Amino acid sequence: MTQSRIAAVDVGNDSLKAIFGQLENNFNIPNIIAREIEDRPVIGIEDLDEKDPLEGLHIKVHSPALKENNAIYRVGHLATKSTNSTELDPGSSKSQEDQTLIMLFASIALDAVQANDFQKQQNVVDANYTLGTGLPLREVKEGNDAGYRSKLMGSVHQVEFLVTPKYQGLKVNIKFDEVKVYPEGFAAFINLVMDKDLKVINKDLIDKHILIQDIGGLSTDIAVIKNRTVDDDKAQGYNLGVSESLENIREDIFTKHGVELDSRRDVVEIITRNNDRNHIMVKGSRTSVHDITDRTLLELAKKQYRLLRNTWQKNSQTEICYFVGGGSNVLKEYIKTLNNNLDGYNIEFFEDEHESIWMMANAYYKLIADYLKKNEKPKEKEEEKKKASKK
């Protein structure tokens, strides 16, 4: 049997974060795709193999899990350069979208051709993975996790690299030995209090009554943690994320300044970077867009604060709320200001943006690695019994 490799994949609304193997490989890929033809034009085709594969992901995907099978896509950075690129829309369910699966398969296929775990025969790599991933609380409460898992298990999903640097012409057959789909709020809690071996590292938090407000692109999850577990009845998911606000900022910048940004990711960079924050170049001149970003993001921060206030009122013994996710980085200063001027709740943000962005992927890795560790010995005993019975 082919060795099963660990994949911990967080298909975030802004970008996919994935960790593989024994932590030796990881990717952060913009969650953007664009339909494409089989032979996309490339300037400097002779230099293709010198380029970064992440900058030129051009693939064909075959999977019974997809509504549109055998379609060809630009993925990630390459898709941002297309006029027909698509990002997940507000109100959509992550578990129901082809785009979620395409991003997942693309990242795993890219790892498979880089890993030493699998053999390659006639440009085909057969790859087995044990996957840890997650869905928003709202979707798990609706029971979508079971359907999502069943789409992945029991089938072979093939990714063919077309005009992709270094891997052009390779095909990867992906099979999942196990898929674990975790609620995102629970995963965030695991990452807060436990290390990679699931040993408690934050004893001050382990028995506290805490909230975790995870602000994503399309949704916000508020997990209520009591007695080391998520209170399923009180945990809530909302169709309120930062994507719509980012899109509004993008449109307002175009209307006022005539500057067309490629994607929401460009907007995030403008409002979060350390130098020249909230500034763009207009006809070669450095121009502030503070008025546009402040107006839109403050309005969204007020809505997020309202969710916090309502949840805290229903859980009056809450001791602290942690804000996590890419959206919390975007809204951090606005929410802090509102809180200082209004209720003064005990809230905490991760000052390390990298830690906040990678929190879910890290949590999935801890959980799936622990699952494998616990299930290795029973499998070994089964193999020994089979060998003994044959004798």
Least confident residue range of 62-66, 90-94, 134-138, 282-286 = 90-94
pLDDT band at 25 (very low <50, low <70, confident <90, very high): very high
Q: CATH code at 32?
A: 3.30.420.40
What secondary structure, in 3-state letters, does the chain show? CCCEEEEEEEECCCEEEEEECCCCEEEEEECCEEECCCCCCCCCHHHHHHCCHHHCEEEEEECCCCCCCCEEEEEHHHHHHCCCCECCCCCCCHHHCHHHHHHHHHHHHHHHHHCCCCCEECCEEEEEEEEEEEECHHHHHCCHHHHHHHHHCCCCEEEEECCCCCCCCCEEEEEEEEEEEEEHHHHHHHHHHECCCCCECCHHHHCCCEEEEEECCCCEEEEEEECCEECCCCCEEECCCCHHHHHHHHHHHHHHHCCCCCCHHHHHHHHHCCCCCCEEEECCEEEECHHHHHHHHHHHHHHHHHHHHHHHHHCCCCCEEEEECHHHHHHHHHHHHHHHHCCCCCEEECCCHHHHHCHHHHHHHHHHHHHHHHHHHHHHHHHHHHHHHHC
Q: Parallel, antiparallel, or unpaired for β 157-161 and 57-62?
A: antiparallel
pLDDT computed for residue 232 by the predictor: 73
Say yes or no: 161 and 26 in one domain. Answer: yes
Question: Which residues, at least 6 apart from 73, have a Cβ–Cβ distance to it below 8 Å?
Answer: 33, 34, 35, 36, 58, 59, 60, 61, 79, 102, 106
Region 67-80: what's the mean pLDDT? 92
Same domain, 159 and 247: no
Residues 289, 373: Cα–Cα separation, whole Å: 51
Considering the domain boundaries, does residue 192 fall inside one?
no
Residue 373 maps to a domain: yes
Q: Report which of 236, 241, 208, 221 is spatially closest to residue 314, judged by C-alpha positions.
A: 236
Domain membership flag for residue 197: no
CA 252 to CA 240: how far, in whole Å?
A: 20
Q: Label residue 40 by pLDDT band (50, 70, 90).
A: low
CA distances from 143 to 62, 221, 349 (A): 26, 16, 30
CA gap 36, 39 in Å, rounded: 8
Average pLDDT score over the chain:
87
177 shares its domain with 222: no
Q: Say if 200 falls within a structural domain.
A: no
Number of domains in the chain: 2
Most confident of 18-22, 196-200, 220-224, 264-268: 18-22
Q: Indicate if 368 and 301 belong to the same structural domain.
A: no
Give the pLDDT score at 390.
Answer: 59
Cα–Cα distance measured from residue 140 to residue 314, given in angstroms and rounded to the nearest whole number: 22
Q: Which residue has the higher pLDDT, 198 or 63?
A: 63
Residues 73 and 219 placed together within one structural domain of the fold: no
Residues 57 and 111 in one domain: yes
Give the pLDDT score at 377: 59
Q: How far from the centroid of its chain's Cα atoms is residue 196's Cα?
A: 19
Determine the pLDDT at residue 111: 97
Q: What is the pLDDT of residue 216?
A: 84
Provide mean pLDDT across the span 232-257: 89
Q: Residue 88 pLDDT > 90, yes or no? A: no
Shared-domain flag, residues 266 and 280: yes
| Beta strands 124-135 and 4-11, pairing class | parallel
- DSSP class of residue 194 equals B
198 within some domain = no
Question: Does residue 70 or residue 185 have the better pLDDT?
Answer: 70
Are 87 and 266 in contact, with CB atoms under 8 Å apart? no
The pTM assigned to this predicted structure is: 0.84
Report, as an integer, the average pLDDT of 125-149. Answer: 92
- Model pLDDT, residue 70: 92
Lowest mean pLDDT among 55-69, 172-186, 240-254, 343-357: 343-357
Are the C-beta atoms of 74 and 33 separated by less than 8 Å? yes
Residues 31, 90 within the same domain? yes
Reported confidence tier of residue 116, pLDDT bands at 50, 70, 90: confident
Q: What is the mean pLDDT of residues 99-105?
A: 97
Residue 128 has pLDDT above 90, yes or no: yes
pLDDT at residue 41, rounded to an integer:
60
Q: Does residue 76 lie in a domain region?
A: yes
Is the same domain home to 168 and 247? no
Q: pLDDT value at position 230?
A: 75
Do residue 290 and residue 372 come from a single domain?
A: no
* Residue 225 domain-assigned (yes or no): yes
pLDDT tens-place string over residues 314-369: 999 999 999 988 888 899 999 999 999 999 999 998 767 777 788 889 999 999 99
What mean pLDDT comes out for the span 169-191? 89
Alpha-carbon span 4 to 178, nearest angstrom: 9
Angstrom distance (rounded) from CA 166 to CA 50:
7
- Domain match, 182 and 215 both: no
Determine, yes or no, domain membership for 49.
Answer: yes
What's the pLDDT at 307? 96
Separation CA 40–CA 168 (nearest Å) = 12
User: Are 172 and 301 members of one domain?
Assistant: no
Domain of residue 224: give its range: 207-357
DSSP-based three-state secondary structure for 6:
strand
Contact partners, residue 39, CB within 8 Å, separation at least 6: 162, 163
pLDDT of residue 334: 95
What does the pLDDT look like over 261-293, one tens digit per residue?
888 888 988 998 888 889 999 999 999 999 999
